[in-house]
A and B are shown apart, each in its own frame.
Chain A
Amino acid sequence: MTRLSAILDERNLTYTTVAARARLQPRTVRQLATGETSIDNVEVGTVRRIAAALSIPVAALLEPDLRSPGDPSVSRGARLSAAIRGVMWSGAATPYLSPVEAGEPDEISDVPADELFAGMAPIDFRRG
Chain B
Amino acid sequence: MPVAADVYRRVAEADDLSSGDIAFLSLARTRLAGEMPPGDLFDPLGRVPAYPRPAVVALPHEREVAIDAMFALVVTHSCEIDRQKNADVSAVHFDCRLTVAPIVSEAAVRLVGADGTSATAGWAAIEANDPVASLYLPPIADVSELAPDVDPVGWPRSFADLRGLTTVSRRMVAADRLCGLSPAYLAVLQKQLARFFTWRDLARHELVEALVGRRVVGATPLNSKGDRLRVALTADDGSSLTVELRAR
Interface residues of A (CB under 8 A from B): 35, 38, 40-41, 66, 68-70, 75-77, 79-81, 83-85, 87-101, 103-109, 111, 113-114, 116-117, 123-125, 127-128
Q: Give the top 5 A-B pairs by smallest Cβ distance, nearest first.
A: A77-B149, A96-B109, A81-B151, A113-B187, A99-B131
Report yes or no: B176 in contact with A80, Cβ–Cβ below 8 A: yes
Interchain CA distance A76-B79 in the complex, whole Å: 27
Report yes or no: B159 in contact with A88, Cβ–Cβ below 8 A: no
- How many residues of B are counted as interface, with CB atoms below 8 angstroms from the partner's CB atoms? 81
Report yes or no: B18 in contact with A127, Cβ–Cβ below 8 A: yes
Partner of B151, one of A66, A77, A91, A108: A77
Determine the chain B residues whose CB is within 8 A of the CB of A99 once the complex forms.
122, 126, 131-134, 159, 161-163
Interchain CA distance A100-B53 in the complex, whole Å: 21
Determine the chain A residues whose CB is within 8 A of the CB of B201 once the complex forms.
101, 103-104, 106
Chain B nearest CB: distance from A40 CB in Å?
A: 7
Is B213 in contact with chain A by the CB < 8 A criterion? no
Report yes or no: A95 in contact with B69, Cβ–Cβ below 8 A: no
Determine the chain B residues whose CB is within 8 A of the CB of A104 once the complex forms.
201
Determine the chain A residues whose CB is within 8 A of the CB of B163 once the complex forms.
99
Closest to A120 in B: B190
Interface centre among A91, A93, A109, A111 (most CB of B within 10 A): A109
Q: A77 with B150: in contact, given A89-B156, A109-B130, A125-B183 (CB under 8 Å)? A: yes
Is B229 in contact with chain A by the CB < 8 A criterion? no
Interface centre among A68, A98, A114 (most CB of B within 10 A): A98
Determine the chain A residues whose CB is within 8 A of the CB of B56 once the complex forms.
41
Q: A124 with B19: in contact, given A76-B175, A97-B48, A107-B223 (CB under 8 Å)? A: yes
Is B85 in contact with chain A by the CB < 8 A criterion? no
Report yes or no: A92 in contact with B112, Cβ–Cβ below 8 A: no
Interchain CA distance A92-B54 in the complex, whole Å: 13
Chain B nearest CB: distance from A4 CB in Å?
A: 14
Q: A98 with B119: in contact, given A35-B52, A38-B53 (CB under 8 Å)? A: yes
Determine the chain A residues whose CB is within 8 A of the CB of B132 once the complex forms.
99, 101, 106, 109
Q: A83 with B151: in contact, given A35-B52, A88-B105 (CB under 8 Å)? A: no
Report yes or no: A123 in contact with B79, Cβ–Cβ below 8 A: yes
Partner of B116, one of A84, A93, A95: A95
Q: A35 with B53: in contact, given A88-B155, A123-B186 (CB under 8 Å)? A: yes
Report yes or no: A116 in contact with B194, Cβ–Cβ below 8 A: yes
Report yes or no: B150 in contact with A88, Cβ–Cβ below 8 A: no
Is B110 in contact with chain A by the CB < 8 A criterion? yes
Is B141 in contact with chain A by the CB < 8 A criterion? no
Interchain CA distance A77-B53 in the complex, whole Å: 23
Report yes or no: A94 in contact with B111, Cβ–Cβ below 8 A: no
Partner of B78, one of A85, A95, A106, A127: A127
